[in-house]
Amino acid sequence: MMHLRLVVLFLCCVSFLGAAAQTRPPVGVTLSGGGAKGLAHIGILKAIDSAGLKVDAITGTSMGSIIGGLYAAGYSADTLEKITRAIDWASLLSNQTNLTSLKMEEKDEYGKYALELPWSNHGFRLPTGLLEAEELWLKFSELFYPVYQTKDFTKLSIPFKCIATNISDGSIVVLDKGELVKAIRSSMAIPTVFTAVRIDSVMLVDGGVVRNFPVQEVRDMGAKIVIGSSVANGLLPTKKINNVLQVLLQIAFFKEAEDNKHQQSLTDLYIYHPMLGYSAASFGRANEIIQQGVEKGREYYPAIKRLKDSLDALYGPEPAPQNRLPLVDSVQVSDIQIRGLVKTDSTFFVDMLGYKGPRKYTARQVTLMARRVYGTRYYGKVMYYLEPRPDSTALLVFEVSENPTTEAKVALSYNIFSGANLIADLTTRNYFTKHSRSLVTLSIGQTFRIKGQHLQYFGTHNQTALIATFEDEAPEYNTYTNFDQDGIYRNLYAVGDLRIQRSVNRIVALGLGTRFENSVFRPVLTSPLVLKGADNFFTSYPYFQVNTLDRWNYPRSGSKVNAEYDLTYGQSPDFEITDNGVRVNTDSLNKNAADYTRFLLDATQYISLHRKSTLFWQTQTAVNFRYQVNRVNDFMVGGLTPQFHNQVTFAGYDEGMVYTSSISSLLLGFRYEALPQIYLTARENVGVYNYLNVKDQLVSPSFLSGSSLSAGYDSPIGPIEFSLMYGDQSRKVLGYVNLGINF
């Protein structure tokens, strides 16, 4: 603050001596990089706004470029605080988009895998960063929509420049022209975390690599008085360097620390935010960081106000401009252009886009269009900007990066039922035919599973799909008598399925299908009553699906409905039953297997009560009508996560604790995000089963109820959840563990 005191003293002396100054010295602001910690800069801008100080230039790096760019565009500090407090940072800074944007056929496979490796140039390649962050691109495009006409950043309401690093030679790149969204995205592209950004054939990454605190650049813009806000922690003290990683990081930051010292010396008012206990990744604590910045702004408000008053006393009042953000609700678009297409064509892109022709479009409408295209899964990035035309219209430009047509995906999974498994997937698009997707998924570990699928789109807007699937698995099931385990079976189950599906839109689909199932039962640990043998049969079915969930892991809003009505026919049972070692006559079982029908319903809804609280409910019904071959197509009740066919999840009981041919259940649940990405979940469910006999007559049912409490972490490899369950009828407390994705 010494520099500022000297500046104020000088101004006071000049005023006292009556010197007539010709020009008011320009005031510049510099905001450092620092990831989540950079949100604290908002508090300093609030202090500047409250003091009424006019800012004449602003520079920033990384998060400083985001906050600085928005402020330069015309957003007030108060508005920036509201925007950043309302953002879902976990979704924004990820590779995930809202599930409602995806085609119905793509939702089941989206976002499941921890590692995705594209096939490019005859080999699998790592991307330039883990995150493309599509939603971040779109958020930037929305926020900077009102200044779409400004391609020279020095022509914004406050002249602005941001810093990036040329990845080829490590040089500083000062960005002051072009597309503002691309410039800021490149300035914050933390190496290996975010993908690099190409601008004019140059690959750019985070400017913090070479200049995290760009004071020199705001001086070069003509600023004579500079306020600098920094959240950089600098080098670690000796006592905190305790391992090889910290040594390497210390060495890596030598150059940055030296440059920061020099940049700090160029400021007149240097504001340092210690931000102890926070890191660049602490976006889950964004509100706390913003509040700390607000407190720091209050601390420095008197100094900023003195500077403003001194300038006014010497040069006359110059109030800061108000309402600097242009009022642009919509833009008249005269045409569109798509840049970056290689393997897909513009006809397909425009068809998926839903472009309505020349008309006015709001930022929200264009963002939804971009999401629709991204939801086809043919593109890894879809960003947009507007190019003004002389006739006051604009050219809407979509800049895309296509996904490789082939990807390998890997994930780890552990479930108390299926054990530990490595799940590997190979997905290719348009390999056999155009507008198609083919995949093979393999589970290797304690439970072998394999799935192959080919999906072929047809018709206008690709709303009709023919889907052929083959699955084979060999899980082991426990058998129970009065909720006590008495045996173990291995079920060798194979199914071939062919269905045709019509997607009404991105959230509703219906279809018809036929599948052939083969089920072999082999005892592993025998019980007094042993069933051994096989059955195969056909099932034809219509089905109906709804999916409006916002995301797969810990959804906050939306519904998911699966309804199916089956006709099962052509059975060929061949079973052998022994009771305490004595063979039972199975002629009636094997020879009189009649056709039967079944109905399945699984409906779930999530309701967001608060940013951290979610209420949800689920109802399940599974009924076999006129069903005679027991066990073969029974429903196995229990478990918290879907693991196998014919399962009805039920809190309080392990998988298969109850076998039944008819069950209906209702679950109520509440989930609370106690810490960022850490969730506490309570479930309570009730159900009735065995309420229908083989003649479809209602009979006195059995009652089931149970509950569970879970603690979970939404990790990069998928949910990690530990649960305790209690079954009222079994009177048992059980543990349940699920790590990662399900097959």
Looking at residue 699, what is its pLDDT?
A: 82
Which residue is associated with the tokens 């990069």?
716
Residues 578 and 685 grouped into a single domain: yes
- φ/ψ of 415, rounded to 5, equals -140, 145
Lowest average pLDDT, out of 65-69, 372-376, 708-712, goes to 372-376
Question: Which stretch of 49-58, 203-212, 582-591 has the lowest confidence by average pLDDT?
Answer: 582-591
Which 8-state DSSP code applies to residue 698?
B
Q: CA-CA distance, 30 to 259, in Å (whole number)?
A: 14
pLDDT above 60: residue 250: no
Q: Tell me, yes or no, whether 67 lies in a domain.
A: yes
In terms of domains, do 396 and 417 share one?
no
Helix axes 77-86 and 41-51, enclosed angle (nearest 10)? 150
DSSP 8-state code for residue 240:
G
pLDDT tens digits for 105-124?
A: 999 988 888 888 888 767 77
| Residues 397 and 447 both lie in one domain | no
Catalytic residue among 56, 206, 550, 566: 206
Catalytic residue, chosen from 62, 157, 519, 661, is 62
Measure the CA–CA gap between 523 and 577, rounded to whole angstroms: 11
Rounded Cα distance, 355 and 606, in Å = 31
For residue 659, the cross-strand partners are: 636
Instruction: Report the range of poorest mean pLDDT among 8-12, 26-30, 241-245, 521-525.
Output: 8-12
CA distances from 445 to 266, 296, 743 (A): 60, 54, 12
| Domain presence at residue 11 | no
Tell me the per-residue pLDDT of 183-241, one tens digit each, with 9 for 90 and over. Answer: 999 999 988 888 899 998 899 999 988 999 999 999 999 999 999 999 987 655 666 66
CB-hemisphere CA count at 13 Å for 406? 11
- Same structural domain, 281 and 350: no
Asked whether residue 355 is assigned to any structural domain, the reply reads yes
Q: Where residue 335 sits, what CATH number does that domain have?
A: 3.10.20.310
Collapsing DSSP to helix, strand or coil, 728 comes out as coil
Same domain, 299 and 341: no
Domain boundary among 372, 402, 432: 402
The number of distinct structural domains making up the chain is 3
Other residues' Cβ atoms within 10 Å of the Cβ of residue 571 = 20
What's the CATH number where 214 sits?
A: 3.40.1090.10
CA separation for the pair 335, 315 (Å, rounded):
49
- DSSP characters for 33-80? --GGGGGGHHHHHHHHHHHTPPP-EEEEETHHHHHHHHHHHT--HHHH
Shared-domain flag, residues 369 and 275: no
Burial string for 409-420 (b: 16+ CB within 10 Å, else e) reads bebbbebbbbee
Q: What is the largest distance, in Å, between two alpha-carbon atoms of the chain?
A: 117
pLDDT, mean of residues 366-377: 92
Q: Compute the distance between CA of residue 58 and CA of residue 60 in angstroms, rounded to an integer.
A: 7
For residue 310, is it within any domain?
yes
Token pair, residue 202, equals 């140059």
Sheet hosting strand 359-362, strand order edge to edge: 359-362, 330-339, 394-402, 379-388
Checking DSSP bridges between strand 57-61 and strand 27-31, what pairing results, if any? parallel
CA distance 37 to 69: 17
Distance CA 459, CA 295 (A): 59
Are 542 and 667 part of one and the same domain? yes
Looking at residue 672, its pLDDT comes to 97
Selected residue with higher pLDDT from 525 and 523 = 523
The verdict on 87 and 234 lying in the same domain is yes
- Specify the pLDDT at position 19: 44
CA torsion sign for 402, 408, 412, 416 is: positive
Q: What does the pLDDT look like over 700-709, one tens digit per residue? A: 899 999 999 9
Are 164 and 194 in contact, with CB atoms under 8 Å apart? no
Task: Summarize the confidence of residues 622-632 as an average pLDDT.
Answer: 78
CB proximity list for 642: less than 8 A, separation 6 or greater: 649, 742
Query: By residue range, what is the domain housing residue 151?
Result: 27-95+132-314
pLDDT in tens, 393-425: 999 999 999 988 899 999 999 999 999 999 999
Distance in angstroms (rounded) separating the CA atoms of residues 692 and 578: 26
At 112, the amino acid letter reads: K
| pTM (two decimals) | 0.85
206 a catalytic residue: yes
Looking at the fold, whether 300 and 348 belong to one and the same domain comes out as no
Please calculate the CA angle 287-291-293 and round it to the nearest 5 degrees.
120
- Is 121 domain-assigned? no
Let me know whether 556 and 665 are in one domain. Answer: yes
Kindly state the percentage of the chain with pLDDT values over 90: 64
First to last CA, the chain: 59
The amino acid sitting at 691 is Y
Nearest-angstrom CA–CA distance, 148 and 142: 10
Planar angle of CA 673, 678, 240, nearest 5 degrees: 125
Going 293 to 295 to 296 to 302, the CA torsion angle's sign is positive
The string over 290-315, giving b where at least 16 C-beta atoms fall within 10 Å of a residue's C-beta and e elsewhere, is bbbbbebbeebbebbbbbbbbbbebb
Residue 17: band (very low, low, confident or very high) from pLDDT cuts 50, 70, 90: very low
Cβ-Cβ contacts under 8 Å for 578 (sequence gap 6 or more): 529, 530, 532, 584
What six digits make up the tokens of 93? 């800074």
Whether the predicted pLDDT of 126 surpasses 60:
yes
Q: Is residue 294 part of a domain?
A: yes
Is residue 593 domain-resident? Answer: yes
Q: What is the pLDDT of residue 233?
A: 76
Contact 167, 229 (CB under 8 A): no
Distance, CA of 563 to CA of 544 (rounded, Å): 5
Q: For 458-509, how does the pLDDT look when each residue is reduced to its tens digit (9 = 90+)?
A: 887 788 999 999 999 998 888 888 899 888 888 899 999 999 999 999 999 9
Backbone angles phi, psi at 503, to 5 degrees: -90, 115
Burial of 360 (0-12, 13-18, 19+ CB in 10 A): exposed
Instruction: Supply the mean pLDDT for the chain.
Output: 89
Our separate counts of H helices and E strands in the chain read 14, 37
User: Which of 290, 314, 338 lies at the terminal end of a domain, its last residue?
Assistant: 314
Q: C-alpha 46: how far from its chain's center?
A: 31
pLDDT (0 to 100) of residue 20:
45
In a domain, 519, yes or no: yes
Helix (H, G, I), strand (E, B) or coil at 574: strand
Say what the pLDDT of residue 3 is. 58
229 plus 265 within the same structural domain? yes
Residue that finishes a domain, picked among 345, 377, 402: 402
CATH assignment of the domain containing 479 = 2.40.160.50
Residue 610: the pLDDT is 86
Q: Does 484 lie in the same domain as 342?
A: no
